[in-house]
Structure formats: C-alpha cells, structure tokens
Structure 1
Amino acid sequence: MSIEARLAELGVILPEAPAPAANYVPWVRTGNLLFVSGQIAANADGFITGKLGENMTAEDGAIAAKACAISLLAQLKAGCDGDIERLVRVVKLIGFVNSTPDFGDQPKVINGCSDFMVEALGNKGRHSRSAVSAASLPFGVAVEIEGIFEIS
C-alpha cells in the first residue's frame, strides 16, 4: 500500500508544508538524507500550547507530538519534490517537550509521534530517537520534533 493511501486510510491528509518562522530552511537534502527542521505542535485551530506537568498530561502531549509527525511528513513530501513514496525510512527523531523540571514522561509524549510514524509507514517508520525536556519552546508550544529521513 502506498504511503498516501495508508495516510488516507488513517484519515490524514497532509497539509501544505509549513513555512519557516525565522531565518532557516524547512529541510536540507544531502545525498540520500533529508534533514527536516523542528516542527512545532499545531493543528487546524492553531498552536498546541502548554507545559507538560503543569497544565498538560502526557496523553495531551502525545496528541501534540502526533501533530508534529504530520508536519514532519508534510515537509518530507516537499523535500521529495511532492513524491513521499521516495521515503526509504525514518532514521531519527529528536523530540523536545516543554515541561516542568519534575516531569519525567518525555518518552511517553514523543511516543505520539513515534507510534504514528510506525502506524502510517510500517517498518519504514521505525527509527532511533531522543526525547528531552525543554524549559520553553517557541510560541509556548508543548512539543517540537525534528527528523532525519533516508530517501531515494
């Protein structure tokens, strides 16, 4: 099954790739790797804001992380000249969680992205990753995730 068909089966239509918010590019392709800049948690209603351990649960954060995953795939598609089927595999995800000093469930939050990648992409979605705390993130978002992808 194609990636686009699987996404449609999951009820996900990739949005246009978000434009960068500052002086950087949304992705860089070098050789067969595509490095996607950090994608912040947002949905149709705007930014998903909050601080884990203060006014958000790990489950809320996982929803925000899934939104980041969808933005990552939108950037991946743009970086592949519109052909997301060029994806060979997700190599690594780096997740940042806006959380209180005593919050320790960053991995559970970033699972929202990881689980979606595997659900949508199968074995191509299996990856290495980091899940770290941040004292704050741009615009007060709950989660930001960047990714490295192998493409053909």
Structure 2
Amino acid sequence: MTVEQKLEALGLSLPEAAAPVASYVPVVEANGLLHVSGQISFAADGSLITGRLGENMSVEAGQDAARRCALMILAQVKAALGGFERVKRVVKLGVFVQCTADFTKQPEVANGASDLMVEVLGDAGKHARAAVGVPALPRGVAVEVDAIIELA
C-alpha cells in the first residue's frame, strides 16, 4: 500500500503543508537527508491545538496533538519531494511538549507521533527520538515535532 492508502485506511488524510510563520524554510535536503523544521499541532479543522500537559490537557490529547504534528511532517515531505518514493527511513524525531515542571510523561505524548510514523511507513518509520518538556511553544501549541529523514 502507498502512504496515502495507509492513511486512508487509518481514516486520516494529509493536511496542506503549512507555510513558515518566521524566517526559515519548512524542509532542507542535504547529503541524502531531509531535515523537516518543527511542525506545530494543528487540528483537522486548521485550528491550533493549544494547552499545557499537566495543567489543562490530558496525555491522550497530547498524543493526538503529536499525531497531528506527524501528519504535518508527512505533508511537508510530500510537498518537498512530490511523493514518498524517495523516503528510505525516518532517522529521528524531536518532540517538544509544552508542560508543567512536574509533568514526566513526555515519552507517552511523543508516542502519538512515533506510532503514526510506524503505522504509515512500517519498519522505515522506526526511528531514534528525543521527547523533551518545555515551558512554552510557539503560538501556545501543546506539541511541536521536527524530523530527519533518510532519502534513497
């Protein structure tokens, strides 16, 4: 199955790749790697998923926000490459979780992004990862995820 067929089977579709909101580009290809800038959590309707884990957001809601970030990463990859044929594997995800100082379930929140990559890309979606708690993220979003992807 193609990436799009796998997404459809999961009841998902790729959003339109978001334009940068500051002085950066969404994707850089260098030395066989695709570096995808941090993608923030947008809901299916295009609104921002905001909140702070440990304060006013559940782990499950955080996982959904991370999953939405992963969908946007895939949208950026498709926009940059025209498809997924050159994607060899996801090398690393960096997951940033806006949370309280005593919140310690960043890995569980990050699983929302990690699990989607494996569901859609299979073994090529298995990756190294960092899951980091931070006091604030751009626009007040709950989660931001960046990626390094190896190209064929």
Secondary structure in structure 1 of the residue aligned to 2:85: helix
Q: How does 1:93-104 map to 2 (within 5 A)?
A: 93-104=93-104
* TM-score in terms of structure 2 length: 0.96
- Please provide the CA RMSD for this pair: 0.9
Structure 2: where are the runs of 5+ without partners?
none
Secondary structure in structure 2 of the residue aligned to 1:133: strand
Structure 1: 4+ residue segments shifted above 6 A:
none
Kept in 2, the 8 Å contact 1:118–1:126? The answer is yes
Is 105-114 or 39-48 further displaced after alignment? 39-48
Q: Distance in 1 between matches of 2:55 and 2:129?
A: 25
Deviation at 1:133, TM superposition (A): 0.6
The residue aligned with 1:26 is 26
Amino acid at match of 1:18: A
1:36 and 2:36 correspond = yes
The residue aligned with 2:111 is 111
Q: Distance in 1 between matches of 2:2 and 2:64?
A: 24
The residue aligned with 1:88 is 88
Deviation at 1:45, TM superposition (A): 4.5
Q: Distance in 2 between matches of 1:10 and 1:121?
A: 13
Structure 1: where are the runs of 5+ without partners?
none
Q: Distance in 1 between matches of 2:62 and 2:5?
A: 27
Kept in 2, the 8 Å contact 1:66–1:113? The answer is yes
1:48 and 2:65 correspond = no
Deviation at 1:121, TM superposition (A): 1.0
Q: Distance in 1 between matches of 2:105 and 2:75?
A: 27
